[in-house]
Amino acid sequence: MINWIKGLLVGALLLPFSFENGEDIRYFQQSTIPLTDSSELIVTTIYDSLSSQDIYQVKTSTGTPVHYYIVFQEGVCFENECRPLNILIYWNITGRYLGFELVDGEFLSKFDHEPFSQEEYEELDQLLADPFLPLGNYTFEELVKSPDTVSQSMDGVSGATMKDVLEYIVPGAAYTTHKLWNLIHGPIQQEVIRLTEQQLNSSLFNKILQSKDQSDQTWALERIAQLSDLDSVIESMVRILLEGEHFQSYLLLKSLSSKQLESEHLQLDLFSLIGKVDYSIENMIFDKLVDAPHLHPSVVHASIPILEELNGPQLGKLLKLFSHHKVKNLEFNQALKQMVPHDNSFVERQLLQFLENQSQSTDSSGDL
């Protein structure tokens, strides 16, 4: 039925652009994964609130998911005159709105039969890209002042919409704006997210982190616990902790699972950041290492050369970390003894307390 659409999509379609000519109208946001080679299409059918809907997933020839789209068909009525609407709606692999396409002369109209202008298409594109609009809080009947006009004109009468949402709709196209926004940010979006989560691996994770869209990066960081192997993404994680925004660093550390924290590679790379990141992120690193099921001996050995460089709060956090994991290491203890007496009396008391607890410990687990 729609093989012609499949053929159309094999090519460099989803570049960030808008385009209109005598036949096709296309508006797109930036895609995380650009379509740069031949693609295979995988069809998955889901049920949304409207009808049973085919979702088309586009992958590269190497299996990387690129985007999803649906063919949305509905009759749009103006003053009891209806015409079919066929529009292709696209989602990025992270679930955010990607764009729409009208082909073969199809177009959008307002309540007065007037086709959308280029400026109105651009406005619609930007409205659809905003996931925080209040349009999901209202039914279309609530959106217009006179419910009896809904059956007469599906796009309502210009000026009849609620004043507090006027800025969120294309003038004269309340129904179209409301319908498309809720379709894009509804159950299909959640299904798109679920489909990508099923395919999330280290390679795809790294690709999403390289996205220029910060919401894509946030999407990936929120799901880092789903990765079974972190070794190939640790370099990207360290770069975020060193160079990324504070919220990204916080989200990354918060999302790490206890199972992932068993990794010696991860523990060492996190510990190597002590003294290189800001105070709050440094505290979170210490806290995450406390959450680890166990602390690898290599972390203890890595701490010895930097003991003299640590300030009071850092040293206090380190001693609490090692106390929590019941670390007993003769070389480490000897290095602490060499720091006594200390210029800072508070630090000296911490050192002496830790050494005293070590000497009194009856832990028979042996040296780390």
Rounded percentage of the chain residues whose pLDDT exceeds 90? 59
Of residues 43, 31, 35, the one with CA closest to residue 94:
31
**pLDDT by residue (tens digit) across 221-275?**
999 999 998 999 999 999 999 999 999 999 999 999 999 999 999 999 999 999 9
**Is 343's pLDDT higher than 90?**
no
**Is 37's pLDDT higher than 70?**
no
Average pLDDT for 128-134: 94
In three-state secondary structure terms, 47 is strand
Q: What residues does 41 pair with on adjacent strands?
A: 58
pLDDT at 325: 96
Out of 81-90, 147-156, 205-214, give the one with best mean pLDDT: 205-214
What is the rounded CA–CA span in Å between residue 21 and residue 105?
9
pLDDT at 45: 62
pLDDT at 139: 76
Strands lying side by side in the sheet with 97-102: 18-20, 25-28, 97-102, 81-92, 65-78, 52-60, 39-47
**pLDDT by residue (tens digit) across 7-17?**
344 333 333 44
**Is 367's pLDDT higher than 70?**
no
Average pLDDT for 80-97: 86
Which of the four pLDDT bands, split at 50, 70 and 90, describes residue 156? very low
**pLDDT by residue (tens digit) across 317-340?**
999 999 999 999 999 999 999 999
DSSP for 63-120? Answer: S-EEEEEEEEEEEEEETTEEEEEEEEEEEETTSSEEEEEE-TT---B-TTSPBPPHHH
pLDDT at 201: 95
Out of 4-13, 130-139, 337-346, give the one with best mean pLDDT: 337-346
pLDDT at 77: 61
Q: Which phi and psi (to 5°) does residue 213 adopt?
A: -90, 120
**Is 284's pLDDT higher than 50?**
yes
Of residues 252, 187, 269, the one with CA closest to residue 218:
252
Torsion sign over Cα 88, 92, 94, 97? negative
Specify the pTM.
0.82
Residue 52 CA: distances (Å) to CA of 55, 72, 88, 166: 10, 11, 16, 31
**pLDDT by residue (tens digit) across 159-177?**
445 666 778 889 888 888 9
Residue 149 CA: distances (Å) to CA of 56, 112, 135, 138: 36, 14, 19, 17
Looking at this protein, which amino acid is placed at residue 142? E
Average pLDDT for 191-214: 94
Helix 264-271 to helix 279-291 angle (10° resolution) is: 150
What is the rounded CA–CA span in Å between residue 156 and residue 168?
15
Pairing state of beta strands 65-78 and 25-28? unpaired
Average pLDDT for 184-204: 94
pLDDT at 131: 95
Q: Round the average pLDDT of the chain to a whole number and report it.
A: 83
Residue 335 CA: distances (Å) to CA of 82, 340, 347: 83, 9, 14
Residue predicted with more confidence, 27 or 9: 27
Which of the four pLDDT bands, split at 50, 70 and 90, describes residue 68? very high
**Is 108's pLDDT higher than 70?**
yes
Torsion of CA 283, 284, 288, 290, to 10 degrees: 30
